[in-house]
Structure 1
Amino acid sequence: MDKLPRNERIATLVKLLSDSPGKIFTLGGFAEMFGSAKSTISEDIDIVGNILSKLDLGHVETISGALGGVRFIPSMSKDRAVRILEGLCAELCRKERLLPGGFIYMLDIIYNPEWIDDIGYIFAGHFFPKSIDYVVTVETKGIPLALATAKHLGVPLVIVRRNSEAAEGASVSINYVSGSSKKLQTMVLSLRSLKRNSRLLFVDDFMKGGGTAKGIAELAKEFECEVAGIGVLVETAEPNKKLVEEYFSLLLLQKVDEEAGVIDIKLSPNWSRI
């Protein structure tokens, strides 16, 4: 490979680092790749870090020691995150989204790559310090959001199912009580899905009573794993007390008035504590 000029090295570094969040790259590895001195690569990485921070696109962390190097960490300023979520609130509050029975149509948001990528990035930046090993969700509507979050954390996605599938081999099944309907439901997860003593992040699109999140915590115990974080796109104001205490929601659904054609969704109180 011919020696690359600095502008091309920097473009490549941005691509490599941002595509592999959390992965440690050594200066020696980059120096060999580009045919440049480590001191030159170090200067390049300083430039990359300054650019990413200035544009609010994440930051580059230097890790010292014999096994050290550099890694990209997803992060977003509170102001930028709030602007994104305020735009999402405005979109979700359109009365055209009201469905019979007081439900809100959200599928176009959940399956929109631009919205989901931004939301997943917000979750990834918030939970990155938790040293997450897996992102976990329950089929099906939470999958796009959980996948985007897993991508930005650089970790695998695990999908908990309602029924066992032969293709997944032996599995663990538990029963849990829904926090809203109080109905008994089932969760199933393949024995091969998780390594023991892993740290999990549960991501879901909606939380009412918190029964699903509590069920995930119980399922995690069967694998000797810990739910280190819970991320929810929208939580409801009622019931006020959920079945789980520690969770991070982005939006709060205060009320739906089907007769008046009103949907009241605001930023979650979480943002006042960040």
Structure 2
Amino acid sequence: MKRSDRLVAMTTYLTEHPMELISLPFFSETYGAAKSSISEDLVIIDRMFQEDGIGYLSSISGASGGVKYIPKVSNENSEAFVGQLCTELADPNRILPGGYLYMSDVLGNPGTIRNIGRLFASHFSDLELDAIVTVATKGIPLAYAVASFLQIPVVIVRRDPKVTEGSTVSINYVSGSSRKIQTMVLSKRSLQADANVCIIDDFMKAGGTINGMKSLLNEFQANVRAIGVLAEAEDEEEERVVDNYTSLVQIKNVDDNKQEIEVTKGNYFE
């Protein structure tokens, strides 16, 4: 195999297996090249990953060592994408009755969802997470996008039990926006004790739903290492019940009368 062909094949394999330790003998046997040539190829790939701002290769020495592709989005790429997202969400045509914001098209765009997943995975890649946790339904595509870059499973919290989930644990929580008592459930088989998890959701106002998920995860002795939300909304009338979260965009004001939306970058860049 020519070096140019091998570089393409190795790059494809690495990007499709992020966070996975791959041995040099595997590449050597797969592509029929000496380990010295494979090492030189990996140096080239690592340089291009960093120049493109999409991550880097982490090398681990020793008999059980190898290389691992770590997704890391550069600040330049992150700011460009989130800036574009802010512009897209600031479209007045998104305003719904009651001051709500239409976001289903964003959550249904595979390219956008993949980029959001890459950003959160980049931010949380050092946390040694065991699972991504979200609540049905709109947070599911975001959770899978993040999990695909971290190579970890997705755990879905539901509003009501499903017979296919087996025995479940349920809790009641107070919704931050409506102040109503609601229920969420999680299968007992979903998580091992002491698992390190990251909560991902599409939207956060007061944070009642995320706080409910944290309480539910306490029943599993899980460690919530991070919280990521696509959009957070400012509301001076409601007290935020969640701290230590990461948001990509912040919706500061939705004026139904003036048909204006103010959207800024979230605390991801702080």
Query: How would you bin the TM-score normalised by the shorter chain?
Result: over 0.9
Tell me how far 1:206 sits from its aligned partner.
0.3
Following the alignment from structure 1 to structure 2, what is the Cα–Cα distance between the partners of residues 48 and 203? 31
2:158 equivalent to 1:147: no
Following the alignment from structure 1 to structure 2, what is the Cα–Cα distance between the partners of residues 100 and 169? 39
Query: What amino acid is aligned across from residue 99 of structure 2 in structure 1?
Result: G
Contact residue 113 and residue 145 of structure 2 kept, 8 A = yes
Alignment match, 1:33:
30
SS at match of 2:146: helix
Cα displacement string for residues 214-267 of structure 1 (whole angstroms, at most 9, x for unaligned residues):
111111111121111000011112247421211001111111110100111111
Alignment match, 1:259:
257
Pick from 221, 225, 245: which aligns with 1:224? 221
Tell me how far 1:180 sits from its aligned partner.
2.0
Alignment match, 1:47:
44
Alignment match, 1:135:
132
SS at match of 1:129: coil
Query: What amino acid is aligned across from residue 9 of structure 2 in structure 1?
Result: T
Tell me how far 1:156 sits from its aligned partner.
0.9
Aligned residues: CA RMSD? 1.2
Tell me how far 1:35 sits from its aligned partner.
2.2
SS at match of 1:259: coil
Alignment match, 1:177:
174
Contact residue 246 and residue 267 of structure 2 kept, 8 A = no
Query: What amino acid is aligned across from residue 229 of structure 1 in structure 2?
Result: A
Post-superposition, which runs of at least 4 consecutive aligned residues in structure 1 deviate over 6 A?
A: none
Pick from 97, 103, 108: which aligns with 1:106? 103
Tell me how far 1:212 sits from its aligned partner.
1.3
Alignment match, 1:191:
188
Alignment match, 2:266:
268
Following the alignment from structure 2 to structure 1, what is the Cα–Cα distance between the partners of residues 220 and 8? 42
Following the alignment from structure 1 to structure 2, what is the Cα–Cα distance between the partners of residues 75 and 38? 26
Q: Percent identity?
A: 43
Following the alignment from structure 1 to structure 2, what is the Cα–Cα distance between the partners of residues 74 and 192? 29
Query: What amino acid is aligned across from residue 141 of structure 1 in structure 2?
Result: K
Following the alignment from structure 2 to structure 1, what is the Cα–Cα distance between the partners of residues 72 and 45? 15
Structural mapping, 1:158-177, within 5 Å: 158-177=155-174
Alignment match, 1:18:
15
SS at match of 2:201: strand
Query: What amino acid is aligned across from residue 245 of structure 2 in structure 1?
Result: Y
Following the alignment from structure 1 to structure 2, what is the Cα–Cα distance between the partners of residues 243 and 14? 43
Tell me how far 1:57 sits from its aligned partner.
2.1
Contact residue 250 and residue 267 of structure 1 kept, 8 A = yes
Contact residue 46 and residue 56 of structure 2 kept, 8 A = yes
SS at match of 2:155: strand
Following the alignment from structure 1 to structure 2, what is the Cα–Cα distance between the partners of residues 256 and 56? 34
Contact residue 217 and residue 226 of structure 1 kept, 8 A = no
Following the alignment from structure 2 to structure 1, what is the Cα–Cα distance between the partners of residues 149 and 179? 34
User: Which structure 1 residue ranges, 5 or more long, are not aligned?
Assistant: none
SS at match of 2:67: strand
Query: What amino acid is aligned across from residue 235 of structure 1 in structure 2?
Result: E
Query: What amino acid is aligned across from residue 261 of structure 1 in structure 2?
Result: Q
Query: What amino acid is aligned across from residue 11 of structure 1 in structure 2?
Result: V
Following the alignment from structure 2 to structure 1, what is the Cα–Cα distance between the partners of residues 18 and 30? 19
TM-score, structure 1 normalization:
0.95
Q: Give the total of aligned pairs.
A: 269
Following the alignment from structure 1 to structure 2, what is the Cα–Cα distance between the partners of residues 141 and 268? 19
